[in-house]
Amino acid sequence: MEVTINLQTALICLLLLALVVFVIFLTVLVAQAIPSVKNLKKITSDATQLTDIAANKATDLDGLISDLGSSVHDLSGAMRSNQGFVAAAGNVGKAVSSTISYMKGAEEKQTKRSKKEAEEDTKKRSKFRK
């Protein structure tokens, strides 16, 4: 019994075998990459939330700083007798009240956020217990 192997047929068989191995390799690679992509999506959504919060705080602080700047300017003008002392004191009061309201708003937002995070944690824990 003679068995003859054609060189061209052997190379084609080797290429097909390499192709099957490569497809299996790619399948495993994609299966391992899926959890990483999901984690990356969570991280980017968190980063988006943080940038939104920072932008909101920046706009809030911009108004606060402009109020403080105008009140300091008014006080310096009052000391130079360009403006009445009562008007300057009113501007200072406005700046102080806006600072207090900003601080209270930040505390309320933090309290709401803490409650919301606690509820989310409770929901996650209840899902894992089931």
Instruction: Kindly report the average pLDDT of the chain as a whole number.
Output: 79
Structural contact between residues 67 and 73, judged by C-beta atoms closer than 8 angstroms = no
Percent of the chain with pLDDT over 90: 23
Is the pTM above the cut of 0.85? no
Tens digit of pLDDT for each residue in 29-76? 999 999 999 999 989 988 888 888 888 888 877 777 777 777 777 767
> Tell me, what DSSP letter sits at residue 69?
H
d(CA 127, CA 97): 45
Distances (CA, A) of 91 to 23, 104, 110: 72, 20, 29
Structural contact between residues 46 and 88, judged by C-beta atoms closer than 8 angstroms = no
Name the nearest CA neighbour of 42 among 125, 124, 122, 127: 124
Higher local confidence (pLDDT), 12 or 121: 12
